[in-house]
Structures are given as structure tokens and as C-alpha cells.
Amino acid sequence: MSRIANSVLAVASAALVLAGCGSGQQTSSTPTSGSEAPKVTGDVTVFAAASLTETFTQLGKDFEAANPGTKVKFNFGGSSALAQQLNQGAPADVFASAAPTNMKQVTDSKTITDAPRTFVKNTLEIVVPKGNPGKIAGLADFANADKKIALCAEQVPCGAASKKVFEAAKVTAAPDTLEQDVKAVLTKVSLGEVDGALVYKTDVKAAGDKVEGITFAEAAQAVNDYPIAPVAKAPNAAGAKAFIDFVLSDKGKSVLSAAGFDSP
């Protein structure tokens, strides 16, 4: 009986060894498929700050070219409004905010659960219509009631940053209009409806020869960090990850840097 038991045990042990070897051979015979990233397809919906309009539109096209079968759909606007939409259940895959404050709105509500990653920084600049007909020379002119001034509303990142620079310069601004995103402010300037405004330096660059920019020292007191993160209930979680990785890639950094954004 002991001889039979020993024989059975030996056969069983050999079978286990062979099974283990077979499993190892199967894994090693298909290393390529195991190492390939899963194919990304379908719509990728991105909620992004208005100041990212030009760069993200370009990155969206580049992402689609690199991932055939995908379509990037954007919702650009003020970061505060976008955060509110997300917290109210608007379907999206990615949120890119112009300030950590608005990103915190969605992380606090668990609409976003992954840790956001800062991907760029941006700085304010005075913007005036081409030729500077209102003769805006600096921040002090924003307190002049005779000048027509546009600013972002304070709940928007560019508005919160504007408040900081005015406090640093000890200037009490007298805006004629408060807009809900930075592109609305820029439009007022490019159309000549106001004498001056504060927008991001990237917006001044994007507007080309329609406007002129004036730098000022206090801008360093209100540099905005831009965080990006996937939405917790993203309809296309794989697409969200892939798009964020693309933004953070060398290609993404190149596009953002060319637009005037600073590295984090």
C-alpha cells in the first residue's frame, strides 16, 4: 500500500510541476499581447477651463489621430460653473480646472476621487485693444472711473487671481462688467467694447494681433495652478486615463508650452 501511495504522490507532484511549467510557457509565449495597452475607443468627454480652449482643442485632434475610433468632446467654460455642473451629475470623463479651488469642489463631493495632478501654471496679463486707445498704462488705471474695464467674476479663477493682484498693488478696481469666464472678457477687449481687462497671458497670445498685452509685476502674486483628474463615474474610464496621460506626455507639454503655459 505504501508503494502505491508513493507512486500516486509522485505522479501528482509531477502533474503539478508540468502544469506550472505549462502555465509559465503560455504566459511567455504571448508577451506582446500582455504588454500592449488596451485599445481606447468611443467618446471622451472633457470639461475644461475656458483658457484651455485652443490648446485642448488641438490636443483633442492629436489624441484622436493617435487613437483611431475615439472622439473627444469638450465643454469649455468657467471652472466654477463646470464644477457645479459635474456635482449636479453632468456626464463627463475628465475635468481640467484653472484653479485648485474649483477642483476641490468636485473632490469634496466625491465627484472626483482620484488625486488631481497639476499639469500647467498660468499668469495674468493686462490686455487692451490693438493700439491701446484707452491709454491703459498699468493696474492703477483699473481704478479710474473714466476707463471702461472688464474683469472676470470673483468665483472664476481669473477673477480670484485678479482680486489678489489688485490687493497686492493696493488698487481698488472699478470694473464696468464682470464676466463668467476669461474668454468672455477677452471678447470684450478684442471688440473694443472696453479699454482694458485682466486675462491670462495665454489668452493674450491666442488672440494674436487683435489685442495687446501689458505685463505687470504683481502678476507673480497670483499664479494659477491647473489640475486635471478623471471623473469618478466616467462613462469612458479608459478614455479618461488615456486622455490625461496624453496631456501629461511630452506631446501635451509641447503644445501647452507653445501656447505660453508654464510648467508646474
Average pLDDT score, the chain: 89
Measuring CA to CA, how many Å separate 14 from each of 19, 21, 64? 9, 11, 52
132-160 CB burial, b ≥16 within 10 A, e <16: eebebeebebbebeebbbbbbbebbbbbb
pLDDT value at residue 4: 39
pLDDT value at residue 38: 67
C-alpha–C-alpha distance, residues 264 and 84, integer Å: 25
The band of 39, judged by pLDDT with boundaries at 50, 70 and 90, is: confident
Q: Coil, strand, or helix at residue 161? A: helix
pLDDT value at residue 33: 39
CATH of domain 124-221: 3.40.190.10
Helix axes 250-258, 237-248, angle to 10 degrees: 60
pLDDT value at residue 36: 54
Average pLDDT over residues 129-154: 97
Average pLDDT over residues 200-223: 97
Look up the pTM and report it.
0.84
pLDDT value at residue 180: 95
Residue 22 has pLDDT above 70, yes or no: no
Residue 21 has pLDDT above 50, yes or no: no
Measuring CA to CA, how many Å separate 173 from each of 116, 179, 262? 33, 15, 27
Residue 32 has pLDDT above 80, yes or no: no
pLDDT value at residue 37: 57
Residue 109 β-bridge partners: none
42-121+225-258 and 124-221: identical CATH topology:
yes
Average pLDDT over residues 231-258: 98
Residue 212 has pLDDT above 60, yes or no: yes
More confident residue, 31 or 187: 187
Q: Coil, strand, or helix at residue 84? A: helix
Least confident of 2-11, 61-70, 226-235, 251-260: 2-11
Q: Where are the domains of the chain?
A: 42-121+225-258, 124-221
Domain range 42-121+225-258, its CATH number among 3.40.50.300, 3.40.640.10, 3.30.1050.10, 3.40.190.10 = 3.40.190.10
pLDDT value at residue 23: 37
Average pLDDT over residues 240-263: 98
Instruction: For residue 119, give the nearest of 204, 70, 59, 185 by alpha carbon.
Output: 59
